[in-house]
Chain A
Amino acid sequence: MSEPGKRLIVGPFNRVEGDLEVRLTIEEGRVARAEVVSTLFRGFERMLSGRDPLDALVFVPRICGICSVSQSVAAARALNVLSGKPMPINGERALNLVHAAENAADHLTHFNLFFMPDFTREAYVSRTWHGDVVTRFAPGSGVAQRAAVKARAELLHIMGILAGHWPHSLAIQPGGVTKAPDAQERVRLMAIIAGFRRYLEAEIFGGDLEAFLALESREALAAWCVARPNSDLARFMACARDAALGTLGVGTDALLSAGAYDLAGEALFAPGLLRRSRLSPFNPDGIVEDVSHAHMVPGEAKHPFEGETRPDGRLEAAGYTFCKAPRLDGHPVEVGALARQVIDGQPLVRALFEEGGANVETRVMARLVELARLAGVMDRFVRDMNVKDVFFDPAKLPEAGQAAGFCEAARGTLGHWMVVKKGVIANYQIIAPTTWNFSPRDAAGIPGPLERALVGTPVTEGEQAPVAVQHIVRSYDPCMVCTVH
């Protein structure tokens, strides 16, 4: 047993995107209190002030190298609202395709490079699956890691064709995408997506994706895994059972999705807020950002249109992180693939969620289910694409106005709020997925979602970086560079 009130500081917390420190108070072998700390501030919101509104599309993708297209999409959506002109439908299909490709690549990166390597640790050396998992997921040498890196690079050829390159493309604009593909390029896109599907079926799922997506219960999932012991899905489920991932990192019953892949105003993955089993529409008017525990100059919690980013230069404020605390109707919410798939009603994810709520296992499973769905989603966008039509129609922006743009990054809901005055950006505020998930406490002392999910986590005597804590933190697929921006 650990001594009462023992402090443990875990950092640099790697295999997350960006800089993270987690401070734990351990009592009687369990986490009693957690503080999640973002240790890097860059100030993108300040950089954007005074610039041409379209210049946001140069800056915002560079907030994050892993959610780059998501950042562009949120800004392009906000600018599109400002322009008041609908995006050409084929431009919107192409925009959704490059966005889906980034999200699929990110899910693949998370599973193979960020999450699974924790099961290769010494702590698990006595488990029957350990040797196999080391062969698959040892950092740099694991055969699954190598196959994933190759499949990811080939998938991202979609970016080479439609977006110039990845990350940091200027192809994504309020008026659509700047590349009008021809028939031959459309065929190539189809071939790339088909190749990606073959990879997923062979390496991760061990079978037909549509058959996998037809599963609706834990029993059916278990039977699928028994029949396919050489799939990485079955390997994950074996690790999950053994390490009791279904009991770790249990979150609050408040999930949010802004809805993903809008086409002519209709989201392919439905938006919504699920709180205490009740589904309601997503209303961004109820969002505020609280700075009471951030290294920010003290002030009232404000809606992002009125929001400010004024870091405390002396680092003397009461805060412990550079992350602000976003709240929706006064509450923290969890965002991510789990929220998207539960809110969209995906049968298997729903079934697992109803059984155990938001936890490490359901977060990772939701990501895998979404990965399987994205192969079909991408294919549909390409097949529906009319390569004789317009993909870009320049947007005319007003001299003054304000607008918000939303999208779903791989790791959850991303919002941009932009105020334009005299033809230039007067205020720009961003709330990223991990700003929600890894937010600090608010003025009422309510902890952020991860801070709460860590409480009660078992810590073995002598553990410096408790492995259960690592599973929980990485189950959110955090992106720390987006978090503070």
Chain B
Amino acid sequence: MSTRQTMVWLQSGGCGGCTMSLLCAEAPTLFEHFDTFGIDVLWHPALSRETGVESLALLREIAEGKRALDILCLEGSVIRGPNGTGGFHRLAGTTEPMLDWVLRLAQQAKHVVAVGSCAAFGGITAAGENITEACGLQFEGTQKGGALGRDFVARGGLPVVNVAGCPTHPDWVRETLALLTLGVMEPADLDAFGRPRFYADKLVHHGCSRNEYYEYKASAEKLSDMGCMMEHLGCIGTQAHADCNTRPWNGHGSCTNGGYSCINCTAPEFEDPGHAFLTTPNIAGIPIGLPTDMPKAWFVALASLAKAATPPRVKQNATADRIVTPPAQKFPRR
């Protein structure tokens, strides 16, 4: 289909979950997808045969510019601690911190891809006091910069491509890799946080199965209730950039379909919301975080109107875990 492209995948301050998620790709499965788009996996910590000195020899060749690399993927945040030394993550088999290897390999790669919110922004690993001084490849939380610096542009002309998510959907990653392989991804295809717009221009709210409850502000009171989780349970799907409710996870799911709130895991600094995750901070009953692009006055007006207009069916089902009142049967006019 296209010329073959080489890929090296490294893991640093993360959990390996984006790889585990990527292996859930279906129709086709991951290895068939790599075949289709001519992606040669030179090394991946979970998938390759090569270990120890064999892997180090390959990484050295690339770092020294003796072997071409098309795509460098990093999963997990870049660990700079303690005190900027990177010593909290030493590349096994070497005396050097992974930080140094990432910096060297990124200079050689045609494209640099941050897989997951850790590699993109720091993510969970950067939570709280951040004792490991974790950051993203080109962002530190919401601020541009990170390990490679704000002005970094890879050889291929793109900044770091931030496939953010915790975890990432397998399609976000594999389709980003395919677009890079085909050479059709441009800077304008990335949003302000470097995320591919093909999924980041959508909101989790789009296609949420709780939309009718949202419209009437018929709220869930506890997890597993079917109502809207925005008012009481900390759901920020109306502000979260991702297509989770129009692109199913594991064949069927999404967070909101699983009975719990969206915590906006594709966003920088999602890990420290400043309150308990499954609660909604509010002022006089009005949530502090309003739906994206919605003026506050309109939200207040529409919410009170909608609440007053809520049909009993929607109200009853909102606080139940299964439908207790079905929709009325209406016969089409002949």
Contacts and interface: CB of A to CB of B under 8 A. Distances in A.
B52 A140 contact: no
A190 to B, nearest CB: 15
Given A21-B93, A37-B92, A164-B249, A121 B24 contact: no
A347 to B, nearest CB: 33
B17 A391 contact: no
A51 B249 CA distance: 29
A470 B258 contact: no
Contact of B254 (A62, A113, A164): A164
B212 interface: no
Contacts of B45: 12, 14-15
A171 interface: yes
Contacts of A46: 128-129, 131
A422 to B, nearest CB: 14
Contacts of B20: 65-66, 68, 166-167
A153 B46 contact: no
Nearest to B44: A14
B276 A149 contact: no
Nearest to A314: B82
A153 B29 contact: yes
A156 B224 contact: no
Contacts of B261: 170
Contacts of B13: 40, 42
A58 to B, nearest CB: 5
Nearest to B117: A62
A476 interface: no
Contact of B23 (A58, A109, A160): A109
Interface stretch (A176-184, A235-243, A323-331, A444-452): A176-184
Interface in A54-87: 54-55, 58-59, 62-66, 68
Given A52-B276, A173-B223, A392-B224, A10 B250 contact: no
Interface in A1-50: 9-15, 17-21, 37, 39-43, 46-47, 49-50
A17, A21, A47: which has the most chain B beta carbons within 10 Å? A47
Contacts of A13: 51-52, 92-93
A182 B92 CA distance: 48
B250 A159 contact: yes
Contacts of A164: 249, 253-260
B236 to A, nearest CB: 13
A178 B82 CA distance: 39
Contacts of A145: 31
Contacts of A313: 81-83
Interface residues of A, number: 87
Contact of B259 (A50, A390, A392): A392
Interface string B92-132: 11100000000000000000000000000000110111011
A39 B91 CA distance: 7
Contacts of B50: 14
Contact of A177 (B43, B52, B259): B259
A159 B15 contact: no
Interface string A274-285: 000000000000
A314 B83 CA distance: 9
B249 A160 contact: yes
Given A65-B18, A163-B253, A311-B131, A40 B89 contact: yes
Given A49-B128, A163-B258, A164-B249, A65 B15 contact: yes
A68 B30 CA distance: 21
Contacts of B255: 164-165, 169-170
A139 B259 contact: no
B219 interface: no
Interface stretch (B53-61, B189-197, B325-333): B53-61
A36 to B, nearest CB: 11
A150 B127 contact: no
A391 B224 CA distance: 8
Nearest to B93: A11
Interface in A408-438: none
B49 A139 contact: yes
A46 B47 CA distance: 31
B11 interface: yes
A168 B82 contact: no
A12 B167 contact: no
Nearest to B39: A140
Given A9-B93, A66-B16, A167-B17, A157 B252 contact: yes
Contacts of A154: 26, 251
B322 interface: yes
A391 to B, nearest CB: 7
Interface in A118-152: 118, 120-121, 138-141, 145-146, 149-150, 152
B15 A62 contact: yes
Contact of B29 (A149, A163, A182, A394): A149
B243 to A, nearest CB: 13
B55 A14 contact: yes
Given A43-B132, A52-B276, A62 B51 contact: no
Contacts of A161: 251-253
Contacts of A64: 15-17
Contacts of A118: 49
B11, B12, B50: which has the most chain A beta carbons within 10 Å? B11
Contacts of A9: 93
Interface string B30-47: 111010000001010111
22 contacts: A11-B93, A12-B51, A15-B51, A19-B91, A19-B92, A65-B15, A65-B21, A68-B15, A121-B49, A146-B32, A157-B252, A159-B253, A164-B258, A166-B20, A167-B17, A169-B258, A171-B258, A311-B131, A314-B82, A322-B88, A394-B223, A464-B54
Given A65-B167, A140-B47, A168-B166, 16 more contacts: A11-B91, A14-B46, A14-B50, A18-B11, A39-B90, A54-B276, A58-B263, A65-B14, A65-B16, A68-B20, A139-B49, A153-B250, A161-B252, A170-B261, A179-B258, A394-B223
Interface of A: 9-15, 17-21, 37, 39-43, 46-47, 49-52, 54-55, 58-59, 62-66, 68, 109, 113-114, 117-118, 120-121, 138-141, 145-146, 149-150, 152-154, 156-171, 173, 177-180, 182, 311, 313-315, 322, 390-392, 394, 464-465, 470, 481
